[in-house]
Structure 1
Amino acid sequence: MEATETMMGRGRDAIDMIVDADSFNEGTVGAKTFDDPEFGPGAVVGTAALNGEEVTIIASDANAFNEKFPVVYAGIIGMEEGYKMAQAVYASLEADKDKPAAQKRSLVLIVDTPGNGPGKVEEIFGMNKATGAYQLALAEARLAGHPIVAMVIGRAISGAFLCHGLQADHIVSLDANFGTMIHVMPLTSVSRIIRKDLETLQELSKGNPVFAAGPRFFYALGGVEELVGTLDGMRPTIIEHIKAIRAAKAAGEAEKLGPWGRGQLGAERDGRKVRPEVIKLMNQEFAAVAEKYAPSR
């Protein structure tokens, strides 16, 4: 695999490479203005044009440091960042609430985050509520008709990817030769949790996408819709996926999008062969007892 230029730590550069020239207006989404530079500095939000259409941009800034929370640096999504990103989504929903589905703005998520990395203060204050609020906001926007595309340019790791990416309609990623990293948990942590030796897990990771990391393995699992082979390819790929998402929603095929759609895609690619069988079994077991727990009429 030939190494090439990395985009890790270059979230702001990616914005300029993706949107129409000189169109990014940072800190404004609809009627909402983010005018406090010290609130969630690791989150970059704003409005831009993409192929002439208005879009909301939400990105991580790996060069920012949140002085109030020392663990929030290098692209980590902290408590303030989570809330700031959620506010940008809700501002998009509010701005387009009276527009038909075909005119609702797209949301483009630029993903380069090594995780949440909460400290004790964030845990006490409710870090989980911040990331949960962002996930909920994206789910609401997706169900309301806004096309959402996540573009992985660097790291997409653990709970941070869960809140900043996995609720998107489609996820696309730069290929592995850009140094792109996608995984839920490093094998060292998996080893401790499931009590399997590291050597066994490393051997499994060579051929089993469940244990492996990286964009190509996530592609096999259906977790990534498309791999992008060039930096110049990011912009047209996102534009095409926005068109595809709009078409699917207009055709009433929303089940082919988002987390549920990626599960189906994984089965089609033979990366998640057991999932459909488990779902079928669970549905059968539920049907067998549904009458017992169904509300009385």
Structure 2
Amino acid sequence: MEMQESMMGRGREAIDMIVDAGSFQENTVGAKSFDDPDFGPGAVVGTATLDGMPCTMIVSDADAFNEKFPVVYAGIIGMEEGYKMAQAVYASIEADAEKPLAEKRPLVLVVDTPGNGPGKVEEIFGMNKSTAAYQLALAEARLKGHAIIAMVIGRAISGAFLCHGLQADSIISLDANYGTMIHVMPLTSVSRIIKKPLEKLEEISKHSAVFAAGPRFFYSLGGVGSLVDNVDGMRPAIIARIKEVQAAKAEGKQDTLGPWGRGALGAERGGRVERPKILALMDREFAAVAEQYAPAR
């Protein structure tokens, strides 16, 4: 596998690789302006056009450092970043609230993050509420008809990927030859939590996509919808996927998108073959006792 120059830490550069030339307006989304440059510097938000369509860009900037929170650097999504990203989503929803489905602006998330900022101060202030607010905002935008596409250019790791990526309708990733890394939890942490030797997990990860890391394994699990093998392919891939997502929503096929759709896609690709069996078993077991819990009439 020939390695390409990494895009890690190049979130701002990726914006110009994706949107129409010269169209990005930072810190403005609909009627909302982000006037404080020191608030959530690790989050870049703004409005651009993409193939002529207005869109909202939400980008993790690995070159930024939040001086108020020393653990927020190198693309980590901290408390302020989570709230800033959430505000950009809600501003997008409000701006298009009266527009028909076909005219609701897409949201493009450029993902390059090693995780959340779990500093003591952030935990005390409630960083979990910040990241949850961002997840909720994206889920609301998705259900209101906005097409949300996540483009992984570097790292997509842990709880930060959960809020900045996994709520998208569809996830696209640069292939592994760019050093792209996707995983929910490193094997060292998995080993401590499930109390299994690290060596055993490393052996399992060689043939099990559930324990392995990287965009190709996530593709087999359905977590990544498509892989892009060069940076010039990011823009056309995003444009094409936006149109596909918009068409699916217009046809009422929302269940083929987002987290639920990724589960079905993983089953089709052979990476999550047990999931449909477990869902079917749960449905049968619930049906067997449902009458006991039916509302009184």
- TM-score range (shorter-chain normalised) is over 0.9
Task: Please say which of residues 279-288 and 123-132 is displaced more in the overlay.
Answer: 279-288
- Cα distance, 1:71 vs. partner? 0.5
Is the contact made by 2:79 and 2:117 (CA closer than 8 Å) also made in structure 1?
no
Q: Distance in 2 between matches of 1:109 and 1:151?
A: 6
Task: Please say which of residues 69-78 and 280-289 is displaced more in the overlay.
Answer: 280-289
Aligned partner of 1:207 in structure 2 is 207
Aligned partner of 1:146 in structure 2 is 146
Letter in 2 for 1:170: S
Structure 1 residue matching 2:45: 3-state secondary structure: strand
Letter in 1 for 2:80: E
Q: Distance in 2 between matches of 1:46 and 1:250?
A: 26
- Cα distance, 1:194 vs. partner? 1.0
Letter in 2 for 1:220: S
Q: Distance in 2 between matches of 1:262 and 1:269?
A: 10
Where does structure 2 lack aligned partners over 5 or more consecutive residues?
none
Aligned partner of 1:133 in structure 2 is 133
Q: CA RMSD in A?
A: 0.6
Q: Distance in 1 between matches of 2:220 and 2:47?
A: 33
Where does 1:23-38 land on structure 2 (aligned, <5 Å)?
Answer: 23-38=23-38
Q: Distance in 2 between matches of 1:126 and 1:295?
A: 37
Q: Percent identity?
A: 77
Q: Distance in 2 between matches of 1:6 and 1:295?
A: 56
Aligned partner of 1:287 in structure 2 is 287
Aligned partner of 2:182 in structure 1 is 182
Letter in 1 for 2:163: C
Deviations 1:58-82 (CA, angstroms, capped at 9, x unpaired): 0011011111111000000000000
1:48 aligns with 2:48: yes
> What is the TM-score when the length of structure 2 is the normalising length?
0.99
> What is the TM-score when the length of structure 1 is the normalising length?
0.99
The runs of 4+ residues in structure 1 deviating greater than 2 Å are none
1:244 aligns with 2:244: yes
Aligned residue pairs: how many? Answer: 297
Structure 1 residue matching 2:76: 3-state secondary structure: coil
Deviations 1:141-176 (CA, angstroms, capped at 9, x unpaired): 000000000000000000000000000000000000
- Cα distance, 1:294 vs. partner? 2.0
- Cα distance, 1:32 vs. partner? 0.2
Q: Distance in 2 between matches of 1:293 and 1:123?
A: 38
- Cα distance, 1:117 vs. partner? 2.5
Q: Distance in 1 between matches of 2:188 and 2:280?
A: 33
Letter in 1 for 2:55: V
Aligned partner of 1:156 in structure 2 is 156
Aligned partner of 1:98 in structure 2 is 98
- Cα distance, 1:197 vs. partner? 1.0
Aligned partner of 1:82 in structure 2 is 82
Where does 1:1-40 land on structure 2 (aligned, <5 Å)?
Answer: 1-40=1-40
Deviations 1:240-272 (CA, angstroms, capped at 9, x unpaired): 000000110111111000000000000000000
Q: Distance in 2 between matches of 1:163 and 1:286?
A: 30
Q: Distance in 2 between matches of 1:292 and 1:56?
A: 47
